[in-house]
């Protein structure tokens, strides 16, 4: 029996489930599924009695694969791996995803990791499964780190990125697709995640793309992208797509041809993706009109900062002016903006000397948020506290400033700040004051939720019970009144309402 078990751990916590499709696991299944392998994808958010069901399904498998990002997913993945090792001592445990790709050797040193797949996994994982099935040596498989028979960690050469046009379509039939389809505030009652490209060529100093993919990018042709979306619409009756690409809009011609393809084939869907303000601000009016006519309704952008000097510091290669021009274009063409800011950089001197620069970052960000909302009210803002990854530009600087760096895979499971830590103000960054952290986190997790015009839909859209909806509506407007008063006066003291909101959010699975 050619069986493979793939595991999607809980991403954030037991009380904050992630309902997105396990796209990375579906991606590495493309070729193997077409070859007739039996692939079982198990998702902690969906499956009951997890990891018991993983252990049950793993019987007779060639290997178990676990995908992971930094944070809680490592903790959850290790719980599964420990159970697998206990019940099936000889069964290979393969790890992949962003964190293992960033720190492959350190990940492979863990006793519950046998092999790490680095970066793009479609071809690498296929070759690995073939080798494990036939019990061949792994030394000739590019893109993996593994332990030899003596337990020594061996790192094979990296595998170059390969065009997605070389692979079969994503095998969505491997999951219960109805569990991953839901309505969206910017249009569409049957929304689905999808990806059409991999990698990014830009040089942002905080991003791990340069580590994992060395600044390279590969994408599905616009023609094949349209073809696959039309197939998904026909098979699953979807009416909205969100691309999980790091940078969908790598060039204007690709965006133009994709939009023309949707219009020509009368796809009649809404879609969203991620782009960069400078590149998209340079698009022609004709291209923007084509994108709108094809159904573009939302864009995620890395605004990052309201200060040009900080943008230069992080090698973002954009300006505040680019962001404002982009914001106006989105207003003109009816596109919702998801605007992400990154704040709290260790710029100079001692940790305490950074407080003034961080305070300026916050004030500049607030000013830009207000300008963006005046231009295009249909905007959702997200603030994040900067935390460095190893090998990124500011990693050594942050360590000199007192940042504690995990030394093992298990330690990385608690590296990122959780929702629980956020409202308790537990932070790692020594160069950011507690008061500044409170401003950043309260703004992102609380104030901006209500500043978003779609906040009511996000709070009540999934509620079917009439009385619960009435209760939630009353609560929504009480919290919105308090949040908007805080935003107007930039007041962050006595955060009782913030704590209460997060308590309710924790147990209501609020968007």
Task: Give the span between the Cα atoms of 469 and 457, in whole angstroms.
Answer: 11
pLDDT value, residue 507: 63
- Specify the pTM: 0.92
Which residues pair with residue 240 across a beta bridge? Answer: 191, 270
Question: What is the phi/psi pair of residue 235, to 5°?
Answer: -80, -40
Q: Assign domain 3-155 one CATH number from 3.40.50.2300, 3.40.50.300, 3.30.565.10, 3.30.479.30.
A: 3.40.50.2300
State residue 511's pLDDT score: 46
The owner of tokens 């219009």 is 263
Which segments within 78-230 are labelled E, that is strand? 93-96, 115-117, 144-147, 153-155, 191-194, 197-199, 217-219
User: What is the pLDDT at residue 410?
Assistant: 94
Beta pairing partners, 380: 338
Backbone angles phi, psi at 198, to 5 degrees: -145, 135
Superfamily of segment(s) 181-506 = Aldolase class I (3.20.20.70)
Report pLDDT for 417.
66
Q: Tell me, what DSSP letter sits at residue 447?
A: I
pLDDT in the model for residue 103: 94
Q: Dig out the tokens for 179 from the structure.
A: 């569990």
Residue 432 · residue 344 · CB < 8 Å? yes
Task: Give the whole-angstrom CA distance, residue 160 versus residue 149.
Answer: 27
Q: In the chain, which residues have pLDDT < 70?
A: 1, 14-17, 417-425, 506-511
Q: Which residues contact 362 (CB under 8 A, 6 or more apart)?
A: 343, 436, 439, 440
99 neighbors 412 (Cβ within 8 angstroms): yes
Which residue reads 């916590």 in tokens? 13
Domain with CATH 3.40.50.2300 in the chain: 3-155
CB 30, CB 122: distance < 8 Å: yes
Residue 419 has what pLDDT? Answer: 52
Quote the CA–CA distance of 464 and 462 in Å, as a whole number.
Answer: 6
pLDDT digits (tens, 9 = 90+) for 213-256: 988 999 999 999 999 999 999 999 999 999 999 999 999 999 99
Task: Supply the pLDDT for residue 184.
Answer: 85
Residues 153 and 95 sit within 8 Å (Cβ to Cβ): no
């Amino acid at each position: 029996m050619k069986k493979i078990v793939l595991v999607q751990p809980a991403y954030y916590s037991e009380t904050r489930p992630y309902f997105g499709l396990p796209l990375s696991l579906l991606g590495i299944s493309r070729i193997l599924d077409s070859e007739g392998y039996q692939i079982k994808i198990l998702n902690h958010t969906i499956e009951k009695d997890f990891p018991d069901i993983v252990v049950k399904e793993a019987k007779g498998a060639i290997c178990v694969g676990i995908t992971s990002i930094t944070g809680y997913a490592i903790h959850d993945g290790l719980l599964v791996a420990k159970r697998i090792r206990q019940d099936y001592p000889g069964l290979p445990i393969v790890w992949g995803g962003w964190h293992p790709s960033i720190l492959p050797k350190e990940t492979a040193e863990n006793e519950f990791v046998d092999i790490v797949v680095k970066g793009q996994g479609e071809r690498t994982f296929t070759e690995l499964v073939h080798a494990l099935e036939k019990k061949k040596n792994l030394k000739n498989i590019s893109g993996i780190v593994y332990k030899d028979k003596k337990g020594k960690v061996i790192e094979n050469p990296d595998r170059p990125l390969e065009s997605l046009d070389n692979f079969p379509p994503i095998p969505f039939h491997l999951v219960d697709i109805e569990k991953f389809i839901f309505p969206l505030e910017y249009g569409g009652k049957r929304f689905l995640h999808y990806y059409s490209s991999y990698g990014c060529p830009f040089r942002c100093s905080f991003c791990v793309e340069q580590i994992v993919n060395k600044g390279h990018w590969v994408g599905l042709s616009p023609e094949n992208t349209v073809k696959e979306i039309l197939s998904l619409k026909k098979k699953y009756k979807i009416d909205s797509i969100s691309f999980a690409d790091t940078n969908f809009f790598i060039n204007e011609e690709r965006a133009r041809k994709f939009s023309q393809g949707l219009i020509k084939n009368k796809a009649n869907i809404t879609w969203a993706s991620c782009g960069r303000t400078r590149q998209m601000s340079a698009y022609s009016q004709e291209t923007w009109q084509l994108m709108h006519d094809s159904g573009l309704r939302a864009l995620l952008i890395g605004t990052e900062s309201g200060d040009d000097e900080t943008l230069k510091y992080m090698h973002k290669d954009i300006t505040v002016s680019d962001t404002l021009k982009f914001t106006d274009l989105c207003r003109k063409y009816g596109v919702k903006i998801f605007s992400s800011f990154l704040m709290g950089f260790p710029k100079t001197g001692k940790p305490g000397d950074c407080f003034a620069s961080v305070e300026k970052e916050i004030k500049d960000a607030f000013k830009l948020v207000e300008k963006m909302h005046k231009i295009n009210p249909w905007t959702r803002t997200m603030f994040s506290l900067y935390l460095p990854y190893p090998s990124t530009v500011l990693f050594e600087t942050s360590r000199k400033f007192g940042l504690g760096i995990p030394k093992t895979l298990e330690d990385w499971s608690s590296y990122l700040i959780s929702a629980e830590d956020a409202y308790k103000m537990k932070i790692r960054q020594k160069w950011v004051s507690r008061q500044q952290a409170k401003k950043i986190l309260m703004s992102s997790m609380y104030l901006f939720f209500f500043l978003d015009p779609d906040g009511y839909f996000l709070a009540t859209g999934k509620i079917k019970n009439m009385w619960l909806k009435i209760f939630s509506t009353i609560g929504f407007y009480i919290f919105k009144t308090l949040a908007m008063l805080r935003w107007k006066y930039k007041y962050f003291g006595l955060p009782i309402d913030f704590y209460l909101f997060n308590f309710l959010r924790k147990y209501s699975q609020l968007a």
